[in-house]
Structure 1
Amino acid sequence: MDQLEVLKKFTIVSVDSGDIKLIHKYKPSDATTNPSIILNNVLSNKYNQLVEKSIIYAKKIGGSIEQRVINATDMISVIFGFEILKNIPGYISTEIDAKLSFNIDLCIKKAVKIVNLYNTLGIDKSRILIKLAATWEGIQAAKTLQEMGILCNLTLLFSFAQAQACADAQVFLISPFVGRIYDWYNKKNQVKIYKASEDPGIMAIKKIFYHYKKYGYKTIIMGASFRRIEQIIELAGCDRLTISPVLLLELQKYTTQIDRKLDSQLIKKSYMLPNVLSEAEFRWLHNQDPMAVEKLSEGICQFNSDQEKLEIFLSKKI
């Protein structure tokens, strides 16, 4: 068995891609997308038919040019998700506009719109995860959405404060960004000799994993944003991992033994939960982590930039 086959025994594997052909090839349980992934696939010209469908939808709905562009942008993400769902048995994660990350009401409104668009294509909300940035506002929006029966994936998660607030809100799933955490420490020359068990991103996820399992939180942990297969192997046993096609291919190349590294059954349980973080406590604790502050801001800005590029591309066609 190759390493990918073995990994699937310990962990539910998701593919971090919008390339429908590659998703079909690797047969993951779930798939995740974001504005950058959607933009890259749209610009590849491999999915022009899907782009045209989103344009037709926007024109049919009508409204101002600005509103048509927004509708086309929302629909293209949903259409990609719809096509991806034909190739997986589980969830599709679809991200909302990053510029809404600090507005609870607008996050909720956009999430409901995305779910309704999926519904028009015959997809039940039970197969959709709405991706929200793990800001305080994003976490509170997720709490409300899940009370409405809409499951959420809290992304751009870098600090333990973000993870604790997500657990407090009982969100469905979080996506800590292993590779981006590693990138920050590596850039600061704080990673001298690489050892997977000492990788800052790996250590961050392990801390969250042991904390969640100790206190019995139901929130699913899905490691994301990997740079090398050693990071993935070191997290064998994590609830879920979302992996790029490039690294999935690497895992298929090797048959070296993989052992379970994370096992919730070995963790001593405690049912006296920590106090729920207030907004002020959350902001203070998150602010104490310069890596998390920088990477969250950077991630939101990058996703927003790619969202705007996608909107410009679609506006020219409208």
Structure 2
Amino acid sequence: MTGTSPSKLDQLKSMTTVVADTGDMESIRTFAPVDATTNPTLILKAAQLPAYEPLVAEAVAWGRGRGRLTSEVADRLAVNFGEELTKIVPGRVSTEVDADLSFDVEGTIEKARAIIAEYARRGVGRERILIKIAATWEGIRAARVLQEEGIDCNMTLVFSLAQAVACADAGAFLISPFVGRILDWHVKATGASFTPETDPGVASVRQIYEYYKAHGVATIVMGASFRNAGEIEALAGCDRLTIAPQLLDELARASGPLPRRLTPNIPADRAPARLNLDEKTFRLLLNEDAMASEKLAEGIRQFSRDLRALRDLVSQRLRASAESAFADL
């Protein structure tokens, strides 16, 4: 940044709520976002950093002292991170339901209630938390129940308008369309190069945003999974954008004008037609969209894999703790 002109990050903050896509507390303190979002991948990375050893140690000691399952200790670790994040950001913190519950309506509801209850025991109100749920048909059904109970949901792994519309119909608080993963699929499928203006991930978020605004949908659109700063700039004005630390840093260092690209005032001739979705129509539209169906399945597999790795890490720590205690006898 040169002179006194505002950085692109500061300009972005004036029109879009900026969310930190990380479990790294120091990055969040540096860039001062409003909200923070985590997932099993981010928690796994952060849990292996020395700075967050106390959060891991607390969860392990709690689990060993009470004879809890490895999965319960991993859940506590996620809430440990979430609680610390609520002390840093003024807004919401997203905590993810297990990816292996993505096709389990009742399991998702039960886990979400348990997460909210654990936060409540720590004095963190539900108004500070978003429950992240994969935007499968089952996840969307679970979100409808949770929203009716006053538990706000962040619907993740959104790759299509059909998913976005179904989430809105369920009353979801927020959706996270994955810009970069959409781009990845198209680059691999076509071998083509894309600019921010031709980026299919950017186009997808713009389509969803325009649909929501044209039809008065209250659900928040939060673009996610960015591959470069150009994608972020092309979505300036979106309700929210969740951004990784390296791209936050790049925007903080960049100067020059950042024009608003998305506006809630959609001209009548650009208003998209309303979609009416039941389960059969949703599943058919998702099946017809090869990119969306493949990336949704891949995303669930990735989060499930990282959740297993997190549980393995916890299991190793539990064994080490037990062996240390036995050696001290």
One-letter code of the match for 2:58? K
Q: Equivalent residue for 1:13?
A: 18
Q: Equivalent residue for 1:239?
A: 239
Contact 1:216–1:269 (Cα < 8 Å) also in 2? no
Q: Equivalent residue for 1:48?
A: 53
Q: Distance in 2 between matches of 1:270 and 1:105?
A: 39
Q: Distance in 2 between matches of 1:292 and 1:275?
A: 17
Q: Equivalent residue for 1:317?
A: 317
- Per-residue Cα deviation, 1:109-162 (whole angstroms, up to 9, x for no partner): 000111111111110001100000000000110110011110000001101110
Structure 1 residue 253: deviation in Å?
Answer: 1.1
Structure 1 residue 268: deviation in Å?
Answer: 3.7
Structure 1 residue 167: deviation in Å?
Answer: 1.2
Contact 2:47–2:53 (Cα < 8 Å) also in 1? yes
2:242 paired with 1:258:
no
Q: Equivalent residue for 2:230?
A: 230
User: Residues 68-83 of structure 1: matches in 2 within 5 Å?
Assistant: 68-83=69-84
User: Residues 1-318 of structure 1: matches in 2 within 5 Å?
Assistant: 1-63=6-68, 68-192=69-193, 194-268=194-268, 274=274, 276-318=276-318
Structure 1 residue 60: deviation in Å?
Answer: 3.9
Normalising by structure 2, report the TM-score. Answer: 0.92
What RMSD in Å do the two structures reach over aligned CA positions?
Answer: 1.7
Q: Distance in 2 between matches of 1:115 and 1:269?
A: 43
Normalising by structure 1, report the TM-score. Answer: 0.95
Structure 1 residue 107: deviation in Å?
Answer: 0.2
Aligned-residue sequence identity (percent) comes to: 45
Q: Distance in 1 between matches of 2:85 and 2:29?
A: 8
Q: Distance in 2 between matches of 1:263 and 1:161?
A: 22
Structure 1 residue 58: deviation in Å?
Answer: 1.8
Contact 2:165–2:275 (Cα < 8 Å) also in 1? no
Q: Describe the SS at the equivalent of 2:316.
A: helix
- Per-residue Cα deviation, 1:147-204 (whole angstroms, up to 9, x for no partner): 1110000001101110111111111000000000000101123533x32111000000
One-letter code of the match for 2:104? N
Q: Equivalent residue for 2:324?
A: none
Displaced runs of 4 or more, over 6 A: 269-273
Q: Describe the SS at the equivalent of 1:265.
A: coil
- Per-residue Cα deviation, 1:26-46 (whole angstroms, up to 9, x for no partner): 100000000000000112232
Q: Equivalent residue for 2:323?
A: none
- Structure 1: 5+ residue stretches without partners: none
Q: Describe the SS at the equivalent of 1:47.
A: helix
One-letter code of the match for 1:293? S
Give the 3 Å change call, closer, same or farther, for CA 124–259 of structure 1 in structure 2. Answer: same
Contact 1:2–1:252 (Cα < 8 Å) also in 2? yes
Q: In the comparison of the two structures, how many residue pairs are matched?
A: 313
One-letter code of the match for 1:155? T
Give the 3 Å change call, closer, same or farther, for CA 266–282 of structure 1 in structure 2. Answer: closer
Contact 1:134–1:154 (Cα < 8 Å) also in 2? yes
One-letter code of the match for 2:137? W
Q: Describe the SS at the equivalent of 1:221.
A: strand
Q: Distance in 2 between matches of 1:272 and 1:293?
A: 22
Q: Distance in 2 between matches of 1:14 and 1:161?
A: 25
Q: Describe the SS at the equivalent of 1:188.
A: helix
Q: Describe the SS at the equivalent of 2:14.
A: helix
